[in-house]
Structure 1
């Protein structure tokens, strides 16, 4: 849809007051940038919003809610914002701190007496603030197999209990390592402090006061709400709907870490309230706004960030990544979940910002597009467009492949039989993940996780090593199986086959012990 009709509609939208038209050159740039990303990466759908000086200046949408079905993406279409939910969880906690219902330095156990980490000292000293800044000592994505692939049967109670069995990879408060589980805990801390379920708190403390009327959290009906983007995956160079919504969406356990859905219009209201306190008087006082965007945990600065942004610092706030970009203060986050990608970036001193929502495999697309949008403000003389950054990403990917970051070559796979597995067939259990079975079925052996139905597949063998070929997951999620020890010390471990696997497949944190025979 051309940008001019969208701008006209935007000016009439309630809650997006003071929308302003950009200059003709800026409008053409924003529209062209979205079109480049949409075409180059062959996206199923995309929605982008732009703010300048605190005012919404442009919304651009392209594509379909579900490919081939003819329903166009619009400014009110709902997308999974994934980990951009974390900033909303932090805002809920900030509102509770503001109201005196908890403190940032409260011990977590004050609100959740059953909370336990692997180290008792860490349990006693973990504060509410620590839940938000990825300093726990857990490894990258530790325990994420309790969250996804979705759907699964883990409860919030399971997740909190599982933390006690996850061995740390480093020291508490020493280093940054991104995690999701502690945001689940943060949501439960908020619920306990307020005496109100997490989903209701988000509606009351964020959506309602900021006019984010289309956003959904907890249990809701996609059929009743309507205009909901569906996730897509690439299959043989085509976009295919995967994980389509049913008539009813559940309040799944990882909601506080990445479960909110919003439209681009909702996200623009959220961003405006953060950029300009006058738009939401009394919603968050200055000290709590400052707390959200304070550098609480240093983060490493990657080479791309140095090269692209001329960055000198990087840190994590409460639900936000903080850095500098060409001398401008940048506050941002991304989100990735089940076939959808999001990105939010703010330049608070300019009161500018952008949001990108994609309902397909869009990691490179969101990176190239957001970079082009931000550079339009921080380094306009460079004149770089989306295709420039897409080319740089392609070059980096080629270099990684040359450096060996590829799925290793494997001999033709053969199915493992029950005789091959011998005494290793049976029921195995991990302290936090629970039970799996390695049992005969249809002439082979099937791996099946009791609480994660998507982790089901046939056990294969290549080059003398057993591995799992998942039924409903792509080959980039496949894992080696490794049996070690003898007798009572027999263990089953798993390791990713693809070195670039999503970190949420934290197979390396599993340590199964055989606990019984096959049924």
Structure 2
């Protein structure tokens, strides 16, 4: 039996309407399930790690499919974090520096293989051959031959009075640990140099260049670089340390935020909304087709320097390769191409994860002690797209991180310094004096009311009392935000007749930016009379 013609005309639209309704319902159900998973991961992270503040966004197919904030700009203040709150993005600033350089390449103002000395004639590395052959691209790849974090004590802890000119002058005194271009070792100083190369090529200061070439065309309206007024800008998250009584602000901003030396390496601040704009530009070339050419997009995301594949990457993500591009880390995660970077400063953590082939972007901003939180949350959010069958949550990855930390502690236990006593000026009389390192400058090891203090002339937070631990001396820093105690080793006069002092971290796993091992002090004077 056939339907009448009029009924057949009505049947097809009804079937199509039902089909579209089914598709819409399935898509909505999938979106609801994703949001539930993201909410669960967000809440587990915020609660487990007792964070002062957290801001997260997830982008897919050029749409923000998830965005959430929680916590306070200053713990206990009642000032809520929102999507416009400014965070220190730390080393995620590096990709912004390389983005500006890429635009200068597009504009014909420099080339990646230009020698650095073309723009900075005063630039010197320890080896003259390396000086001559260091190209602009080498500044971005952590392949200089310098050790991990070499010279970072000229950048942190802030504030200090090292300038970018001091950074460039100090590089000549930092001895390499490997040959040029043979080995990956993360550094920050050469990104400071890269910012100065950009400024020289463009004929204007780095901060002005970033505003004109990046913030303005991409409408990243809240981002800040260089000198700015915190009260005028408003809505600024402060870094925190976790204490026995809760989160406490450390290194709080003054009303005027200074033009920090580390801008190009890690000194930019942005909001969650700003970072969403940044990620969308990279994921969708048509969003801002004039901002950077396809050729330079490829250059920035090309694997220029091999990096080690860690045990965690192999076990968690089945990763097979890892490399550094220009300001980005490149790897594979569950067979999916991953472009990412993290940012770490005392009391501030950030993470950017891009999965370009899936048109996915993730940004995480934290204003507290959040290394493990960032790792666990980033893993769960990325796995949602690279391995959706993986049911592990934040708590599962947190437990794996706890096991890693326990194993590390067993493998390299911290020395017991609990029996330390204040060193006396009388007992240390032969070691007292003013010492000088060629790149870090002068420090004093001098008596004060019978005790002995180590004090850096150019880095005021690095001041502490010398303690005796058996036959060894260590420094207990006055400022508890300086979280890497140091051993002191005094050496009697060598062939040149000058006593020396060297340093090393008490904790071998301390943040690599406390590069005490790169210091080589010679005594240059007696302590001034008191």
Answering whether residue 382 of structure 2 is matched by residue 378 of structure 1, we say no
1:249 paired residue among 238, 257, 265:
257
Question: Aligned equivalents of 2:99 and 2:313: distance in 1?
Answer: 27
Question: Aligned equivalents of 2:29 and 2:104: distance in 1?
Answer: 37
2:86–2:236 CA contact under 8 A, matched in 1: yes
1:237 Cα deviation after fit: 5.2
1:138–1:168 CA contact under 8 A, matched in 2: yes
Answering whether residue 195 of structure 2 is matched by residue 187 of structure 1, we say yes
Residues 313-324 of structure 1 mapped to structure 2, 5 A cutoff: 313-324=321-332
CA deviation vs aligned residue, 1:17-36 (integer Å, no higher than 9, x gap): xxx99711111111111111
CA deviation vs aligned residue, 1:131-179 (integer Å, no higher than 9, x gap): 0000000000000000001110101111110000000000000010000
1:499 paired residue among 477, 499, 508:
508
Residues 70-469 of structure 1 mapped to structure 2, 5 A cutoff: 70-236=78-244, 238-404=246-412, 406-469=413-476
Question: Aligned equivalents of 2:438 and 2:280: distance in 1?
Answer: 45
Partner of 2:523: 514
The TM-score normalised by the length of structure 1 is: 0.95
Question: Aligned equivalents of 2:421 and 2:482: distance in 1?
Answer: 16
Question: Aligned equivalents of 1:259 and 1:319: distance in 2?
Answer: 14
2:461–2:482 CA contact under 8 A, matched in 1: no
1:481–1:494 CA contact under 8 A, matched in 2: yes
1:269 Cα deviation after fit: 0.3
1:33–1:385 CA contact under 8 A, matched in 2: yes
1:473 Cα deviation after fit: 3.0
1:469–1:475 CA contact under 8 A, matched in 2: no
SS in structure 2 at match of 1:243: coil
Answering whether residue 485 of structure 2 is matched by residue 483 of structure 1, we say no
Question: Aligned equivalents of 1:94 and 1:323: distance in 2?
Answer: 21
SS in structure 2 at match of 1:435: strand
Question: Aligned equivalents of 1:263 and 1:236: distance in 2?
Answer: 29
CA deviation vs aligned residue, 1:210-230 (integer Å, no higher than 9, x gap): 110000000111100111101
Answering whether residue 67 of structure 2 is matched by residue 59 of structure 1, we say yes
1:500 Cα deviation after fit: 1.3
Answering whether residue 51 of structure 2 is matched by residue 43 of structure 1, we say yes
Question: Aligned equivalents of 2:175 and 2:509: distance in 1?
Answer: 23
SS in structure 2 at match of 1:353: strand
1:491 Cα deviation after fit: 1.0
CA RMSD of aligned residues (A): 1.2
1:314–1:324 CA contact under 8 A, matched in 2: yes
Question: Aligned equivalents of 1:475 and 1:120: distance in 2?
Answer: 35
Structure 1 residues 22, 78: CA separation in 2 closer, same or farther (over 3 Å shift)? Answer: farther
**Runs of 4+ with >2 A deviation:** 473-476
Partner of 1:15: none
Question: Aligned equivalents of 1:382 and 1:284: distance in 2?
Answer: 36
Question: Aligned equivalents of 2:393 and 2:501: distance in 1?
Answer: 49
Q: Which runs of 5+ in 1 are unaligned?
A: 1-19
Q: Which runs of 5+ in 2 are unaligned?
A: 1-27
1:207–1:215 CA contact under 8 A, matched in 2: yes
1:221–1:247 CA contact under 8 A, matched in 2: yes
Question: Aligned equivalents of 1:388 and 1:376: distance in 2?
Answer: 15
Larger Rg over CA atoms: 2
Question: Aligned equivalents of 2:45 and 2:491: distance in 1?
Answer: 48
1:383 Cα deviation after fit: 1.4
CA deviation vs aligned residue, 1:116-142 (integer Å, no higher than 9, x gap): 000000000000000000000000000
SS in structure 1 at match of 2:352: strand
Partner of 1:10: none
1:407 Cα deviation after fit: 2.2
Partner of 1:6: none
